[in-house]
Amino acid sequence: MRILVTGGAGFIGSNFIRYVLSAHENWYVVNLDKLTYAGNLENLSDIAPDPRYTFVHGDIADKTLITQLLSANTFDAIANFAAESHVDRSIHDATPFIETNIQGTHVLLDAARAHGVKRFLQVSTDEVYGTLGSDEPPFTEHAPLAPNSPYAASKAAADLLARTYYHTFGLPVLITRCSNNYGPYQFPEKLIPLMITNALEGRPFPVYGDGLNIRDWIHVLDHCRALEAVLLGGVPGEVYNIGGSCELTNLEVVRSILQTLDLPESLITFVPDRPGHDRRYAIDASKIKAALGWKPQYRFQEWLPEVVRWYKEHREWWQRVKAGSYRQYYARQYEQRLNRNDFKRDVI
Ligand code: NAD
Ligand code: DAU
């Protein structure tokens, strides 16, 4: 399998690349990433020397680059992780969300169609379904799309655009909608890594509103295993929900982190709520379980302490990220390696 992964320097993409290269000897990955604030080559520094891995610095919305890349290579699959991914940032400014999540996905879909790519995996999100009431059943793939934030709307637009490329042009599109991920290398703007790193710095835990919003947590490696299953066995044109069946309020999550680190609840600070804050997400993942035999393996109560340990042991990683210095640090390394031709530019 020769696969183009976009957004592979981010949280889920980097975990996915590490996972598939260790699980499949004969998989080759080209990672195309714009290296926005969320893209960090350090996430893949252990993988960089692997001859089956190539990094290309670029934007999925850059039509010329994408055409060049797909003309120079035959990809069996494209897995599109590249996105602006943080809801709060989309409330502040939706522009990059429209450019990357919608326009970028459009460029990739057109190029995949023109070059006859055999599998196009669109990594979508459960946020496209909007919010659930406390008594409602979890979202199935048939739930209507009702996004409530600019981020969710941009992902819903990309998801629907991908669907049309299957129905109108016969592009073998696969769409996945996953719930909230946690795990190593998550950017510390998201709830769990923000709270863990704040705890390790002795800073308060800013909980939005009353802290009773519910998210359905899944370990990132369970998400990666599900994406692998969909790439290998999914039926084109189908949507697959992915979730950990682990609904927790934000306060429950935050209290588990405090308990793991033996810290007092007085660190919790209630702050003004996120505008338009979705109350509850929950995913019904029965379809992927029945159709592809996938099920989650990592239980939150067992694995949250492992993830806390990872952040304790990778203090330099998140300190560089929080300080913003990872960008200069890796930009320098990138230039040096480019000069030594480590990045195998022959793919474009
Ligand atoms: P992330 O923000 O950690 O990483 C995004 C990556 O995309 C970064 O490396 C960034 O540099 C890259 N990128 C951004 N714009 C780009 C562009 N125009 N061209 C090329 N690369 C670009 O995000 P994540 O949490 O790893 O999420 C990955 C995907 O999974 C996203 O599509 C997101 O919507 C989806 N998703 C995330 C979650 C979650 O809980 N984090 C859950 C379900 C789905
Ligand atoms: O559901 C999948 C989605 O999960 C993905 O599509 C998104 O890319 C990902 O960012 C995530 O979105 P959320 O908005 O659910 O994640 P976030 O970590 O930002 O927030 C989780 C919950 O915690 C949410 O109810 C808001 C709350 N929160 C978040 C932060 C950053 C706080 O209370 N305090 C905070 O400081």
Separation CA 78–CA 154 (nearest Å): 19
Farthest CA pair distance, the chain? 59
Ligand nearest the Cα of residue 38 is 1
Separation of CA 16 and ligand 1 centre (Å):
12
Question: Residue 315 — φ and ψ, nearest 5°?
Answer: -55, -40
Separation of CA 213 and ligand 2 centre (Å):
10
How far from chain centre, in Å, is Cα 177? Answer: 11
Judge whether 59 and 34 are in contact, CB under 8 Å: yes
Q: Is there an atom of ligand 1 within 6 Å of 7 CB?
A: yes
Tracing tokens 């949250």 back to the chain, one arrives at: 304
CA-nearest residue for atom 11, ligand 2, is 180
Query: What's the burial of 186, exposed, middle or buried (CB within 10 Å: 0-12/13-18/19+)?
Result: buried
Residues with C-beta less than 6 Å from any ligand 2 atom? 85-87, 125-127, 179-180, 190-191, 194, 206-208, 213, 215, 250, 274, 281
How would you write the pLDDT of the chain (348 residues) with one tens digit per residue? Answer: 999 999 999 999 999 999 999 999 999 999 999 999 999 999 999 999 999 999 999 999 999 999 999 999 999 999 999 999 999 999 999 999 999 999 999 999 999 999 999 999 999 999 999 999 999 999 999 999 999 999 999 999 999 999 999 999 999 999 999 999 999 999 999 999 999 999 999 999 999 999 999 999 999 999 999 999 999 999 999 999 999 999 999 999 999 999 999 999 999 999 999 999 999 999 999 999 999 999 999 999 999 999 999 999 999 999 999 998 777 666 666 555 555 544 444 565
Q: Which atom of ligand 2 lies closest to the CA of 87?
A: 14
Tell me whether residue 264 is in a domain.
Answer: no
Ligand nearest the Cα of residue 184 is 1
Backbone torsion region of residue 323, taken as left when φ is above 0, otherwise alpha when ψ lies between -120 and 50, otherwise beta: alpha
Tell me whether residue 205 is in a domain.
Answer: no
Separation of CA 180 and ligand 2 centre (Å):
8
Q: Which atom of ligand 2 lies closest to the CA of 192?
A: 18
So which residues are the catalytic ones? 126-127, 151
Separation of CA 9 and ligand 1 centre (Å):
9
Ligand nearest the Cα of residue 123 is 1
Separation of CA 100 and ligand 1 centre (Å):
10
Predicted model pTM = 0.96
Tell me whether residue 83 is in a domain.
Answer: yes
CA-nearest residue for atom 14, ligand 2, is 87
Separation CA 298–CA 244 (nearest Å): 9
DSSP annotation of 210: T
Q: Which atom of ligand 1 lies closest to the CA of 242?
A: 43
Instruction: At 165, list the tokens.
Output: 């490329």
Q: Which of 132, 215, 267 to mutate to test the pocket of ligand 2 (most atoms within 8 A of CB)?
A: 215
Tell me whether residue 103 is in a domain.
Answer: yes
Pairing label, strands 173-178, 119-125: parallel
CA distances for 230 relative to 110, 289, 320, angstroms = 21, 11, 35
Separation CA 67–CA 28 (nearest Å): 19
Q: Which atom of ligand 1 lies closest to the CA of 190?
A: 41
Tell me whether residue 256 is in a domain.
Answer: no
Q: Which atom of ligand 2 lies closest to the CA of 213?
A: 25
Separation CA 311–CA 201 (nearest Å): 12
pLDDT for res 22: 98
The domain spanning residue 334 has which CATH number?
A: 3.40.50.720
Q: Is there an atom of ligand 1 within 6 Å of 10 CB?
A: yes
Separation of CA 38 and ligand 1 centre (Å):
8
DSSP annotation of 126: G
Closest by CA to 279, choosing from 346, 327, 212, is: 212
Contacts of 243 (CB under 8 A, 6+ apart): 126, 138, 178, 179, 216, 218, 282, 283, 284, 285, 296
Contacts of 29 (CB under 8 A, 6+ apart): 3, 4, 5, 8, 17, 20, 21, 52, 53, 54
Contacts of 137 (CB under 8 A, 6+ apart): 282, 284
Structural domain harbouring 93: 2-183+218-245+282-298+327-347
Tell me whether residue 157 is in a domain.
Answer: yes
CA-nearest residue for atom 33, ligand 1, is 85
Angle at CA 138, nearest 5°, toward 135 and 139?
130
Tell me whether residue 235 is in a domain.
Answer: yes
How far from chain centre, in Å, is Cα 1? Answer: 21
Tell me whether residue 267 is in a domain.
Answer: no
User: What total number of domains does the chain contain?
Assistant: 1
